């Protein structure tokens, strides 16, 4: 702990708590659940509404000042950094559920240092 005059830094407390309790970071848990859901969607048929939504690109422009970060762009960026060059490659991996689970666990473990 870093003690300052009547001030305690929260970062050492949080890191010590997460190490001893086995609780994952919130961002890591969100990422893991996102990829579990993506695997579920990728195993569906191509004409399913979920699959259509994965490829949907809305028309129009955002208002000035709105961030361009969306769920889809985040998933695309993580997919590329995970080594899948396309959603078709990810779909092939998702067909084998045990391989998908292992891949998602490895991906989430490798992202731990980025937060």
Q: Which residues of 39-60 are buried (b: 16+ CB within 10 A; e: fewer)?
A: bebbeeeeeeeebeeeeeeeee
- Residue 2, pLDDT > 60, answer no
* Residue 3, beta-bridge partner list: 8
- Backbone torsions φ then ψ of 24, nearest 5 degrees: -80, 160
Q: Where are the domains of the chain?
A: 25-58+67-114
pLDDT value for 115: 44
- Residue 105, pLDDT > 90, answer no
Tens digits of residue pLDDT in 66-104: 777 888 888 888 888 888 888 889 999 999 999 999 888
pTM, two decimal places? 0.68
Per the structure block, which two tokens stand in for 70? 């969306």
């Amino acid at each position: 702990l870093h003690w300052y005059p009547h001030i305690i830094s929260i970062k050492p407390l949080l890191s010590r708590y997460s190490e001893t309790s086995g609780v994952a970071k919130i961002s890591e848990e969100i990422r893991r659940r996102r990829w579990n859901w993506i695997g579920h969607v990728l195993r569906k048929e191509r004409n399913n509404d979920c699959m259509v939504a994965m490829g949907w690109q809305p028309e129009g422009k955002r208002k000035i000042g709105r961030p361009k970060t969306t769920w889809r762009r985040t998933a695309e960026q993580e997919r590329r950094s995970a080594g899948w060059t396309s959603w078709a490659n990810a779909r092939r991996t998702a067909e084998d559920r045990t391989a998908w689970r292992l891949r998602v666990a490895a991906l989430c473990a490798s992202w731990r240092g980025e937060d």
